[in-house]
Structure 1
Amino acid sequence: MGALGDIGGLIMTPLYYVISAVLVAWHWLFTEIGMDPDSGLVWVLSIIGLTLTVRAALIPLFVKQIKSSRNMQLIQPKVKELQKKYGHDRERLAQETMKLYKESGTNPFASCLPLLIQMPIFLALFRLLDKHAARGDGKAFITKDLADSFQHAELFGIPLKSTFLRADGDVAVMIVAAILVVAMTATTFTTQRQLMSKNMPADALSGPYAQQQKLLLYVLPVVFAVGGIAFPIAVLFYWTTSNLWTMGQQFYVIRNNPAPGTAAEKAKAERDRAKAEKHGKPVEPELAAPVVEEKPEAPKRQQPKKQSREQRKKSQGPRPTPKPKPEGGTNE
């Protein structure tokens, strides 16, 4: 247990300093422009600023996630072929599948990488605000004065340190917490649903990858809904803002750079065609509807029918009568 605690400390301590530094920097910025440093609005804006900073830093990982997800979708027909061929041999199937991933430059775990990296950041922020700032204890760059400021910060009379479970009978706190939990859950579901309905080819809607996406579609919202009732109001603002960023970022990618063979790609082609026609530009071949030229069918060769012996005799006509040979043996 002690060893696990040491490992956790090695991971979390640097995150405490990084996250608190960004949070305090945003808090200082809003204070410098004349806002009340002890107001709940400044703390909420600082948390939103922290969220935007974290998500901007994760853009390269998001790009990698998009590429990996697209590759996973495109190679699904080949994965199915391998399953049919090596379904009886799990070890060989695993080897051939990993070989396919390597040849196509696909990392099956890259789609979960941004989420996996965000979880320690979220946990660090949760512990900073819930375990330290909410109790008036300083941690990392959050001094005791800043912790005391957060401890008493309110937004429209709602303490930012409050949770749905620790509302102490305050109906307003419970309503605001419930709204943020629903928003957090709905944005998570909408983002995953948007990916599956618009940016996945028909071939990718079945098989292990599709099952994984469906699992995320229904499990993640439930996890966030159950866990959200224990999050402070301030932390709910962080996660809801992060989900809104994800939804908007994914919408932009799906709209402007859809995966091949998807409904989003078809919609983009139609938009490009309409835009080109509106401005009087010639429609590019790939945007125009494909014209299928009907080639005339080659005349079928008729096989000769098999005739009977009598029919062949009739078609050949009567045979010529041979001339009689002259008597005497030789012709004069």
Structure 2
Amino acid sequence: MFGFLDVPVEGAYHLIQALTGPLSTALAIVVFTLGVRLLLHPLARSAVRGERARAALMPEIGALREKHGGDRDRLAAEVTKLQQESGTSLFAGCLPLLLQLPFFTVMYRLFTTATIGGEPNSLLGATLFGTPLGAHGLAGSPLVFVVAAGLAVVAWFSVRWQDRHRDATAAVPGGKLLRLLPYGSVLATLVLPQAAGIYLLTTTAWSTAERALLRRGS
């Protein structure tokens, strides 16, 4: 299962092992995550431009809703036509999130697989605060509570920022659901390996800071 991930998992394994030399394994995971986010940063910038373009279209979309509100198919067709003519996309804002999934899956595999590349997975023995990074959920106590608390703080700042900038995020598809996703990551720490929790904490903190910086003045 997921055999197509064997090569990227093995590559990530050797990368984190190399980083673990000068760093701890937990810090190596943070560095790995930051590298992923730097790689995806151009997409985040593009997503913000797309959000601003969609926000500019909201008056026209509102007019279309008033005109075709009783005909959902016609309304959908007209909105799609408007977006095509303006060069905007409904899903551009979701790309940074979607493209993280393969990296998150690789991180999950790194700390749940006994052997990698035919050799015993030495990362499974890595610990932080005396807790194995491969421990799942409450078995990773007290580390799980440290990570969950960090994610809760980041989620609070993220939602608070979004509440202050509703006009800038109003055009994001599924915006109401997306704004609650950080709180979902808090619950995820109860079932994921602690290494995956560290990945989530790092990437959500990056997302919150990145969003605030890129949308300054919105």
TM-score by length of 1: 0.59
SS in 1 for 2:88: coil
**Residue matched to 1:182:** 149
Q: CA deviation at 1:143?
A: 4.5
Distance in 1 (CA, whole Å) between partners of 2:197 and 2:175 is: 24
Distance 1:112 1:55, change over 3 A: same
**Residue matched to 2:116:** 139
**2:13 is the counterpart of 1:20:** yes
Q: CA deviation at 1:62?
A: 0.7
Distance in 1 (CA, whole Å) between partners of 2:206 and 2:183 is: 20
Q: Which amino acid aligns with 2:72?
A: R
SS in 2 for 1:200: helix
Does the 8 A contact of 1:192 with 1:216 survive in 2?
no
More helix by share: 2
Alignment equivalent of 2:47, drawn from 65, 77, 98: 65
1:116-195 alignment, distance < 5 Å: 116-129=98-111, 131-132=112-113, 137-140=114-117, 143-144=119-120, 147-148=121-122, 150-165=123-138, 167=139, 173-195=140-162
The structure showing larger relative contact order (alpha-carbon pairs under 8 Å, at least 6 residues apart) is 2
Does the 8 A contact of 2:128 with 2:143 survive in 1?
no
Q: CA deviation at 1:18?
A: 4.2
Q: Gaps spanning 5+ residues in structure 1: where?
A: 31-40, 168-172, 260-332
**Residue matched to 1:35:** none
**Residue matched to 1:315:** none
Does the 8 A contact of 1:177 with 1:229 survive in 2?
yes
Distance in 2 (CA, whole Å) between partners of 1:235 and 1:49 is: 13
**Residue matched to 2:68:** 86
SS in 2 for 1:65: helix
Distance 1:94 1:181, change over 3 A: same
Q: CA deviation at 1:238?
A: 1.3
Distance in 2 (CA, whole Å) between partners of 1:72 and 1:210 is: 8
Q: Which amino acid aligns with 2:200?
A: W
Q: Which amino acid aligns with 2:17?
A: V
Distance 1:192 1:118, change over 3 A: farther
Q: CA deviation at 1:14?
A: 4.3
Q: Which amino acid aligns with 1:249?
A: E
**Residue matched to 1:51:** 33
Q: CA deviation at 1:67?
A: 1.0
Q: CA deviation at 1:211?
A: 7.6
Distance in 1 (CA, whole Å) between partners of 2:127 and 2:172 is: 44
**Residue matched to 2:177:** 215
Q: Which amino acid aligns with 1:153?
A: A
| Identity rate, percent | 28
Q: CA deviation at 1:189?
A: 4.5
Q: CA deviation at 1:113?
A: 0.9
Aligned length: 218
Alignment equivalent of 1:252, drawn from 195, 213, 217: 213
SS in 1 for 2:70: coil
SS in 1 for 2:90: coil
Distance 1:199 1:22, change over 3 A: farther
**Residue matched to 1:9:** 3
Distance in 2 (CA, whole Å) between partners of 1:112 and 1:235 is: 21
Distance in 2 (CA, whole Å) between partners of 1:188 and 1:110 is: 22
Does the 8 A contact of 1:163 with 1:174 survive in 2?
no
1:37-90 CA-partner distances (Å, limit 9, x unpaired): xxxx61011111101111110011111111111112221111111111111222
Distance 1:9 1:76, change over 3 A: farther
1:280-299 CA-partner distances (Å, limit 9, x unpaired): xxxxxxxxxxxxxxxxxxxx
Distance 1:85 1:226, change over 3 A: same
TM-score by length of 2: 0.87
1:225-244 alignment, distance < 5 Å: 225-244=186-205
Cα RMSD (Å) = 2.4
Q: CA deviation at 1:194?
A: 1.4
